[in-house]
Amino acid sequence: MKYTEVVKAIVEHVGGKDNISVATHCMTRLRLNLKDSSKVEEDALKKLDGVMGVVNKGQQTQIIIGASVNEVYTEFIEYTGMKEEAPVEENLDELKQDLKNRKGNLLTVFFETVAGIFNPIVPALAGAGLVRAILTIAVVCGLDNTGNTYMVINTIANGIFTFLPFLLAASAAKQFKMDTFVAMTICAGMMSSTWATLIGEGVSAFSFLKIPFTLVNYSSSVLPIVFAVWFASWVEKGLRKIIPGALKIIVVPCLTILVATPISLMTIGPLATWVGNLLANGVTVLFEKGGLFAGLIYGGIYSSMVVLGIHHGMVPVLVQGITAQGFNYISPTSGAANMGQAGAAFGTWLKAKNQKTKTIAASATIAAVTGVTEPAIYGVNFKYKRPFMAAAIGGAAGGGVASFLGLKAYAMGGPSFLNFAMFIGEESSNVWLVMACFALAFVVAAAITYIWGIEEE
């Protein structure tokens, strides 16, 4: 088959079939959890046709394939005989030891946890955001915004934002390794209509066991439920250690709910709400007051954040901004950085003499223009260094202008030319100005890359 040889070579260069414990993939990468990462022959992997780069994260080796990763993964599963999307079987002692060995890397663990919670729900948020954008276009084209049709579609589009805590509860439960339905039950207790009714009647404080606490409406909230589930996971694990086997199935869920829900209502929820609002308002003020300079800095460093993996830390801020304010200032700037990567890859394609380099750069450009920047970053720009610097300059240029103009995103998603609908909102000019900033970033990065040139192998 088409990818047989590259699959065989990949298996050989990661230490053979017996060294692979789990094989999965994302949009562009083949992700292999290895028993012994020292057996990885990284240089040999990078030289394979179809491989754009290699990233090592702890015991996981990520091989950047690009758009054909689905086909490569299918072939990989057939060749190795492994189960598709095989579950990770981690020994707790090994996990603790791994964390001890990674003392200086706890920040990475934090960002990986954030990514594990928020990334699975981003497609649903992006889809709902696109529905809202389509509805906005429909109103401009004549749809009655007081009619039943509008109301039905608007309710569908906004439903996910109202009940977002349930999605977060399920995702966080998986990440923190606790019972998903117990986590969602705790979420239901926090989102009960009882609290919404009391708040609607003007009640701002309540008490439990004579202990007063602030009432909060957790609809559309982000951080409160994540921290509540994190706390509940520790309660559940502790109870499992002390409750006898026969009673675990009933007593552990019961006590977890009874302990975690009141504490979440009284302390975790209100505190996390305050932190979430502080983050969203802080970022808003930063971009409103910082203007050009905020966009220059964020647009310039965003691609480096992607390389380090810390860009995932911004996802909660983006979600909080969309749910609390209806928009965010970050996506136009990060989108400019993405288009800077696309432009640098395009400049590499124009300048390169090696046919293989041209082929990789062309496919990476197309992927980046649609919002998938990993092939451009790892397969082209970071590899040749100068294009990556050019992309940063292009991102800073486009991001600076976007921030100076106060441009906004009204939905979640990967900011790109293809995903223009996420920038359609109250101001009709917003989407066109965002596209202009993206084009500016692309052209600046491509021009600088072409002028500086690349050092091909």
Give CA torsion, residues 209, 224, 117, 255, to 10 deg: 0
* Assigned token pair, 266: 């009284």
Question: Could you tell me the end-to-end alpha-carbon distance of the chain, in angstroms, rounded to an integer?
Answer: 29
- Nearest Cα to 126, choosing from 331, 280, 299? 331
Q: Cβ–Cβ contacts within 10 Å for residue 160, how many?
A: 20
Cα dihedral across residues 379, 382, 384, 386: positive or negative: positive
Distance, in Å, from the CA atom of 102 to the CA atom of 56, rounded to the nearest integer, reads: 14
Distance, in Å, from the CA atom of 209 to the CA atom of 199, rounded to the nearest integer, reads: 20
pLDDT of residue 428: 80
Query: What's the Cα-to-Cα distance from 413 to each of 33, 39, 43, 343, 423, rounded to whole Å?
Result: 28, 37, 34, 20, 10
Query: Would you say 338 and 373 are in contact if contact means Cβ atoms under 8 Å apart?
Result: yes
Counting every residue written for the chain, the total comes to: 457
Residue span(s) of the chain under CATH 3.30.1360.60 come to: 4-101
- Nearest Cα to 114, choosing from 373, 314, 411, 330? 314
Cα Dmax for the chain? 76
Q: Is 412 helix (H, G, I), strand (E, B) or coil?
A: coil
pLDDT of residue 267: 94
Bridge partners of 60?
33, 57
pLDDT of residue 105: 58
Distance, in Å, from the CA atom of 47 to the CA atom of 360, rounded to the nearest integer, reads: 12
Distance, in Å, from the CA atom of 391 to the CA atom of 343, rounded to the nearest integer, reads: 7
Q: Which is the CATH superfamily of the domain at 4-101?
A: Glucose permease domain IIB (3.30.1360.60)
Distance, in Å, from the CA atom of 122 to the CA atom of 36, rounded to the nearest integer, reads: 32
pLDDT of residue 102: 46
Please state whether beta strands 205-208 and 60-64 pair in parallel, antiparallel, or not at all (unpaired). unpaired
Please tell me the number of Cα atoms within 13 Å of 65 on its side-chain side. Answer: 24
pLDDT of residue 111: 67
- The single-letter code of the amino acid at 295 is G
pLDDT of residue 228: 95
Query: Would you say 454 and 402 are in contact if contact means Cβ atoms under 8 Å apart?
Result: no
pLDDT of residue 283: 76
Strands in 29-34's sheet, in edge-to-edge order, are 20-25, 29-34, 60-64, 53-57
pLDDT of residue 146: 84
Q: Which portions of the chain are predicted below pLDDT 70? A: 1, 58, 85-108, 111, 308-310, 312-313, 456-457
Q: Cβ–Cβ contacts within 10 Å for residue 338, how many?
A: 33
Burial class of residue 213, CB neighbours in 10 A (0-12, 13-18, 19+) = middle
pLDDT of residue 338: 92
Please tell me the number of Cα atoms within 13 Å of 446 on its side-chain side. Answer: 18
- Nearest Cα to 302, choosing from 425, 380, 369, 400? 400
CA angle 390, 393, 397 (to 5 degrees): 140
